[in-house]
Amino acid sequence: MNATEKLIEAAREAMRHAHAPYSRFAVGAAVRLTDGQVVTGCNFENASYGLSLCAETVALAAANTQGRLADVEAIAVVGGAMGADGVASGEAIVTPCGRCRQVMNEAEQMAGRTLAIYCAAPEGDALVEHRVADLLPLAFGPADLGITPGKS
């Protein structure tokens, strides 16, 4: 299993822990750091919908909690509708929501490198690789505020 496949599998495992009783749509994310460490997150919904947290944001915040935001190099995102058994399945590929694209832009600018964003389905081999600039063209971020990588 190569590094990308391991990252996607970590996102799939995180997806299995999603707290998504309202949308019934589970998402898992895995962030690979420059030293190969993987940090994961899953969506965490709340009865007050606006307070829900997306998997990508949870994973990037976890990397930041370790002081490793500048070390992010790749992100995998996996998600799908949950069946009656509470497990997401299927071969449809999910992509990050707009909020997560903005958070990924922040991580990319602070890391000072182009991040690979891998989007995959809960099952199967289908995989699409994106760049943040493709997902969020003309993004506003730290550079627009005069903040350079590694400095806040």
* Exposure string for 90-113, b = 16+ CB within 10 A, e = fewer: eeebbebeeebbbbbbbbbbbbee
Measured distance CA(123)–CA(121) in Å, rounded:
5
Give the tokens for residue 79.
């998600």
Give catalytic status of residue 56 as yes or no: yes
Of the candidates 45, 56, 73, 108, the residue annotated as catalytic is 56
- Strands (DSSP E) found in 57-108: 72-81
Measured distance CA(3)–CA(5) in Å, rounded:
6
Q: Catalytic residue numbers?
A: 56
